[in-house]
Amino acid sequence: MRKFGDDSAQLDDRLDGARGGEVGILERSGGGPAGRTLALLWRNRRERTAEAVPPRLGRKPTLDLDAVVTAAIALADVQGLAAASMNGVAKALGVGTMTLYTYVPSKDELLDLMVDQVLGERELPGPGEPRPADWRDQIELYSEQTRAMFRRHPWLARISTIRPPVGPGMLAGREYLLSACAVLGLPARQTNTAALAITTYVDSAAGLEAESEQVERTTGQSNDAWWHERNDLWETYFDVERHPTMTAIWNANGYGDGTREAADESYRFGLDRLLDGIEALTANQS
Amino acid sequence: MRKFGDDSAQLDDRLDGARGGEVGILERSGGGPAGRTLALLWRNRRERTAEAVPPRLGRKPTLDLDAVVTAAIALADVQGLAAASMNGVAKALGVGTMTLYTYVPSKDELLDLMVDQVLGERELPGPGEPRPADWRDQIELYSEQTRAMFRRHPWLARISTIRPPVGPGMLAGREYLLSACAVLGLPARQTNTAALAITTYVDSAAGLEAESEQVERTTGQSNDAWWHERNDLWETYFDVERHPTMTAIWNANGYGDGTREAADESYRFGLDRLLDGIEALTANQS
DNA sequence: TCAGTTTTCGTAGGGTATACGAGAATACGC
DNA sequence: GCGTATTCTCGTATACCCTACGAAAACTGA
């Protein structure tokens, strides 16, 4: 990634075309790469800036950005993130590989766009829209929408969430979660950390869940079969004296079966305990 | 990964050499790839099987498996996971790239070995060894050791933990955490799910923290500077009406500064709330 | 000394992202 | 209707990635 220079005059031109008034977006924003990425992320919310005016001159484009992003997502959903290579996406769209670079500055940027797109797919009520009355039900809604998102797009779990795409999808998700946490009436700082703790757990647990199911599907090997393949572990290497608690839990059947219901129960257990802990703060306050 | 056939007769031979008695490990285990990986993971715990007998015949090896794994870890620590390519590791060791395949069947296996190695670096008391008396202090120990591990090896956060390497390092970590959770006297099933919830949170939060610090180091750009680069967001795209809670928290200074102390506080807040929730279960029981 | 065994590693082949530049397609001014 | 400026398309080349294959080197025991 970003091994070579970062020229991309092509795309600058394209974005200068989408100008709103006298000055192009990139000029107004200093033209940095962050400004360019923001312009792409927020392309569908142009009301606040200006209408996107497509350039009149030159050859007509055969695609648009949405088509590229959508194709990349579809490919990653079905065949895994590795299949969403520039080559793969181009082939799926029936164009040459390099054609994609007319629409997207780099693979990294494409990933950002994919991520924000699917983050925005979650059906979360905006401000003023009807939502569950109870605090926990509001969080539950967030949790279930996020889980469903990860299940639809398991590749999400393999993308780093530090310095994420700051697009409409991500912001809508955060706004909803924060507004749900705000119901508790905690101080602003605690409201934010509570929301942070919840995303940390939900994103991680939902990602693991989705990835696990995906691996079962793509390898055709159930998790049980995978463990069974490691039968040697217990017979040859595992030392009961060194692992008394694991042994005890095993003997008490504490590991559960590998069913989806058991995984679901684990997921909910962790989230419920976390919410219990957060809720307890308000009880002490009043 | 694993694009081509999976022959690796070379390594089978090597492991057959490390036999314990009449029958080679791989024969006893059916010779599957899982058995081979287990043999490599547990190479330093041969007491339970037999001594590793190095082959007398043939050219002497210039390296050993530990040297390869250690070099790969060192490279990933300093230069990032991408630097730990087969080529990169070989260069660091002063050998040809393909020489590594004498010691490791594939890059995937090398990653497994790296992961189990660093998991085992955590200084967690084994069964019978002295440990903190209080339950929370025991968890705290696990949490801090794990955080330190992620800080030393930020690349860990970018490796999937589904179907992890089932080696001595991973098992020691799980044993300790489970034994700490067992103190609470919950049913076996709940003890396990509680431990699962804790790892989910700790691994994720510690990984994010470590990755964030690493990105600040390697890009030379602080998180504050990164946000500042996205100044446009607020000026051009952000809609206050659509994001009232974010706005309110911002105005109440609820996002905190980007200092390490603030991140530490967030981390602890989430973990403490989770532990509160788990602990509350025992209160209801008695 | 030589045969058998093991390790070393160059080469080749298929994958990845992307810089560069030539050519095709379109719109506008004349 | 004809340049010409502009824009999009995409083949080629470069620098990486992993690893199969096979020849040569190094070592042991007979």
- Cα gap B137→B131, rounded to integer Å: 9
How confident is the model at residue A56, as a pLDDT? 76
**How many residues in chain B?**
286
Distance A85 CA to D24 C1' (A): 39
Rounded to an integer, what distance in angstroms lies between the CA atom of residue A188 and that of residue A170? 20
pLDDT of residue A232: 86
Residue A52 has pLDDT above 90, yes or no: no
Tell me whether residues A256 and B35 touch, CB distance under 8 A. Answer: no
Is there a single domain that holds both residue B137 and residue B261? yes
B280 to chain A, any CB pair closer than 8 A? The answer is: yes
A85 touches strand C (CB under 7 A): yes
Amino acid, single-letter form, for residue A25: I
A188 with A278, same domain: the answer is yes
Q: What is the pLDDT of residue B28?
A: 32
Rounded, the Å distance between the CA of A251 and C1' of D14 is: 59
Question: Based on the domain organization, do A77 and A114 belong to the same domain?
Answer: yes
Distance CA B55, CA B154 (A): 37
Query: Which structure tokens are listed for B53?
Result: 């007998």
- The stretch A275-285 carries a mean pLDDT of 89
B244 close to A (CB below 8 A): yes
Among A2-16, A30-44, A89-103, B269-283, which is the least confidently predicted range?
Answer: A2-16
DSSP codes, A219-286: H---HHHHHHHTHHIIIII--TTT-HHHHHHHHTTTT--S-HHHHHHHHHHHHHHHHHHHHHHHHHH-
Nearest Cα residue in chain A from B243:
A175
Q: Of B25, B41, B59, which one is at a domain's C-terminal end?
A: B59
Residue nearest to nucleotide D15 (CA to C1'): A3
Those residues whose C-beta lies under 8 Å from the C-beta of residue B99, and which sit 6 or more positions away, are: B62, B63, B90
CA of A248 to C1' of D11 (A): 64
Assess whether A242 (CB) lies less than 7 A from strand C: no
Judged against a pLDDT cut of 60, whether residue A22 lies above it is answered with no
Sorting pLDDT into bands at 50, 70 and 90, what band is B35? confident
Judge whether residue B116 has pLDDT over 90.
yes
> Nearest Cα to B243, choosing from A128, A119, A165?
A128
What whole-number percentage of chain B has pLDDT above 90?
Answer: 79
| Segment B189-207 mean pLDDT | 98
Q: How confident is the model at residue A44 (pLDDT cuts 50, 70, 90)?
A: confident
Q: What is the pLDDT of residue A45?
A: 83
User: Could you tell me if B139 and B263 lie in one domain?
Assistant: yes
Closest chain A CA to residue B252: A188
Side chain identity at residue A205, one-letter code: A
Same domain, A113 and A142: no
**A130 and A185: one domain?**
yes
Same domain, A262 and A129: yes
Asked if residue B147 and residue B19 are part of one domain, the reply reads no
Which CATH number covers residue A85? 1.10.10.60
> Do A187 and A272 have their domain in common?
yes
Q: Confirm whether any atom of chain D, the nucleic acid strand, is less than 7 Å from CB of B6.
A: yes
pLDDT single digits (tens) B134-184: 999 999 999 999 999 999 999 999 999 999 999 999 999 999 999 999 999
CA of A79 to C1' of D20 (A): 25
Find the CB nearest B232 among A35, A238, A243. A35
Domain boundary among A88, A119, A150: A119
Find, among A144, A189, A151, A152, the residue nearest to B250 by Cα: A189
Instruction: State both tokens at A158.
Output: 């393999």
Tokens of A243: 């692992």
Q: What is the least distance, in Å, from the CA of B207 to any CA of chain A?
A: 10
Judged by CB atoms closer than 8 Å, whether chains meet at A127 and B280 is answered as no
Query: What are the helix (H) ranges across B18-58?
Result: 25-28, 33-41
Nearest CA in chain B to A274: B274
Which range among A55-69, A243-257, B13-27, B175-189 shows the weakest confidence by mean pLDDT? B13-27
* pLDDT tens profile A2-11: 333 333 344 5
Cα A196 from Cα B256, distance rounded (Å): 12
Query: What residue type is A2 in one-letter code?
Result: R
Residue B113 has pLDDT above 60, yes or no: yes
Residues 201-240 of B with CB under 7 A from strand C: none
Mutate to test the interface with B, among A44, A81, A146, A162 (most CBs of B within 10 A): A162
Residue B26's contacts (CB-CB under 8 Å, 6 or more residues apart) are: B12, B15, B16, B35, B36, B39
- The residue of chain B nearest to residue A249, with distances taken between CA atoms, is B188
In a domain, B238, yes or no: no
Residue A231 counted as domain residue? no
Nearest-angstrom CA–CA distance, B283 and A192: 28
**Whole-angstrom Cα distance, residue B155 to residue B214?**
9
| Gap from B135 CA to D13 C1', Å | 62
Burial label for B96, CB within 10 Å (0-12, 13-18, 19+), is exposed
User: What is the token pair recorded at B184?
Assistant: 């609470």
Q: What is the pLDDT of residue B53?
A: 63
Q: Is residue A3 part of a domain?
A: no
Nucleotides of D under 7 A from a protein CB: 5-12, 15-22, 25-29
- For residue B5, give its domain range: 1-59
The answer to whether the CB atoms of B246 and A171 lie below 8 A apart is yes
Q: Do B25 and A205 touch (CB under 8 A)?
A: no
Determine the average pLDDT of the residues in A215-231. Answer: 94
> Do the domain assignments include residue A241?
no
- The residue among B59, B83, B102 that closes a domain is B59
* DSSP calls for A269-284: HHHHHHHHHHHHHHHH
Q: Is residue A35 part of a domain?
A: yes
- Count of alpha carbons within 13 Å of B57, Cβ hemisphere only? 3
| Chain A closest-CA separation from residue B194 CA (Å) | 7
pLDDT of residue A53: 61
**Which of the residues B139, B240, B243 would you substitute to probe the A interface, choosing the one with the greatest number of A C-beta atoms within 10 Å?**
B243
Confirm or reject contact between B18 and chain A (CB < 8 A).
Answer: no
Residue B272 has pLDDT above 50, yes or no: yes
Average pLDDT over residues B278-285: 85
Long-range contact pairs involving B135-140 (C-beta distance under 8 Å, separation at least 24):
B135/B180, B135/B183, B135/B184, B135/B279, B136/B275, B136/B279, B138/B180, B138/B183, B139/B177, B139/B180, B139/B181, B139/B198, B139/B271, B139/B275
CA–CA separation, B187 and A252 (whole Å): 9
Q: Provide, in whole angstroms, the distance separating residue A6's CA from nucleotide D18's C1'.
A: 27
- Write out pLDDT tens, residues A92-123: 999 999 999 999 999 999 999 999 999 999 99
- First and final CA of chain A: distance in angstroms? 52
pLDDT-based confidence at B56, cuts 50/70/90? confident
Q: Are residues A26 and A51 in the same domain?
A: yes
Condensed to tens digits (0 to 9), the pLDDT of residues A135-160 reads 999 999 999 999 999 999 999 999 99
The residue with tokens 């630097």 is B83
Q: How far apart are CA A28 and CA A23, in angstroms?
A: 6
Percent of chain A with pLDDT over 70: 84
The mean pLDDT of chain A is 88
Residue whose pair of structure tokens reads 């007398």 in the numeric block: B56
Q: What angle do CA A270, A283, A274 make, to 5 degrees?
A: 10
For residue B29, what pLDDT is reported?
38
pLDDT band at B217 (very low <50, low <70, confident <90, very high): very high
User: Are residues A137 and A211 located together in one domain of the fold?
Assistant: yes
Question: How many distinct helices (H) and strands (E) make up chain B?
Answer: 13, 0
Instruction: Return d(Cα A259, Cα A34) in angstroms, integer.
Output: 44
CATH number for the domain harbouring residue B155: 1.10.357.10
Angle at A93 between CA A90 and CA A96, to 5 degrees: 40
User: For the residues A170-192, what does the mean pLDDT come to?
Assistant: 97
Backbone torsion region of residue B64, taken as left when φ is above 0, otherwise alpha when ψ lies between -120 and 50, otherwise beta? beta
What distance separates the 2 farthest-apart alpha carbons in chain B? 77
Q: According to the model, what pLDDT value does residue A19 have? A: 27
Examine residue B245 and state whether it is found in any structural domain, yes or no: no
Residues of B in contact with A182 (CB under 8 A): 245, 248-249
**Helix residue ranges per DSSP H, chain A:** 9-17, 25-28, 33-41, 65-79, 86-93, 107-121, 135-152, 168-182, 188-219, 223-229, 231-232, 244-251, 260-285
Reply yes or no on whether the pLDDT at B43 is more than 80: yes
Given a cut of 60, is residue A260 above it in pLDDT? yes
User: How distant, in Å, are the alpha carbons of A115, A167, A168, B114, B242 from that of B238?
Assistant: 18, 9, 9, 43, 8
Contact yes or no for B273 and A281 at CB 8 A: yes
Residue B197 has its nearest CB partner, among A174, A270, A278, at A270
Segment B194-220 mean pLDDT: 97
Q: Other CB atoms closer than 10 Å to residue B25's CB: what's the count?
A: 23
Interface probe for B, chosen from A79, A146, A189 (most Cβ of B below 10 Å), is A189
The model's confidence at residue B238, banded by pLDDT at 50, 70 and 90, is very high
Number of domain units in chain B: 2
Positive or negative CA dihedral for A232, A233, A237, A242? Answer: negative
Strand C, nucleotides covered by protein (CB < 7 Å): 4-11, 15-21, 23-28
Same-domain check for residues A186 and A275: yes
- Rounded Cα–Cα distance for residues B241 and B239 (Å): 5
Residue B6 has pLDDT above 90, yes or no: no
pLDDT band at residue B45 under the 50/70/90 scheme:
confident
CA angle B123, B128, B129 (to 5 degrees): 35
In a domain, B32, yes or no: yes
What pLDDT does B34 receive? 85
Which chain B residues are within 8 Å of A270, Cβ to Cβ? 193, 196-197, 200-201, 274
Q: How far is CA A87 from each of CA A81, A91, A168, rounded to the nearest angstrom?
A: 13, 6, 28
Nearest-neighbour CA in chain B from A113: distance (Å): 15
- For residue B240, give the 3-state DSSP assignment: coil
Answer yes or no: is B84 within a domain.
no
